[in-house]
Amino acid sequence: MNPTTEHTEDTENAAPAPWHSRWYSAAKRGGLTVIASCLVSEALTILSAFFRGSPGMFVRLDWLFLLAPVVAAAWGFLAPRKYAQKPPLRVRVEVFALAVFLITAFIGLLTAAWFFFHSSEKEFRGEAFTPEVWSFCHDRLHLAPDADLRPAGFLLGGFQDKFVQAKFLTGEPDPARLFDTNAVDLSDVRPGGYAANIDLPSDNGRGRSSGPRWWTPAGEHAVSGRARFRDEDADRRECMYIAVDALPDGDHALYIFWFES
Q: What is the pLDDT of residue 55?
A: 43
Q: 128-151: per-residue pLDDT in tens?
A: 788 999 999 999 999 999 999 999
Higher pLDDT, 258 or 31: 258
pTM (predicted TM-score): 0.57
pLDDT confidence band for 70 (50 / 70 / 90): confident
Strands 150-157 and 238-246: unpaired
Query: How far is the first Cα of the chain from the last one, in angstroms, to the nearest whole number?
Result: 83
Distances (CA, A) of 7 to 2, 15, 16, 17, 178: 9, 14, 16, 17, 93
Q: How many CA atoms lie within 13 A of 66 on its CB side?
A: 10
**Residue 179 burial (CB < 10 Å; 0-12/13-18/19+)?**
buried
Decide if pLDDT at 63 tops 70.
no
Q: 140-191: per-residue pLDDT in tens?
A: 999 999 999 999 999 888 656 788 999 999 999 999 999 999 999 999 999 9
Sign of CA dihedral 130, 125, 185, 261: positive
Residue type, 250: G
Please give the average per-residue pLDDT across 96-117, as a whole number.
Answer: 73
Which helix (H) or strand (E) segment is 224 a member of? strand 223-229
How far apart CA 164 and CA 240 sit, in angstroms, is 9
Q: At what angle do helices 22-48 and 89-119 cross, to 10 degrees?
A: 40
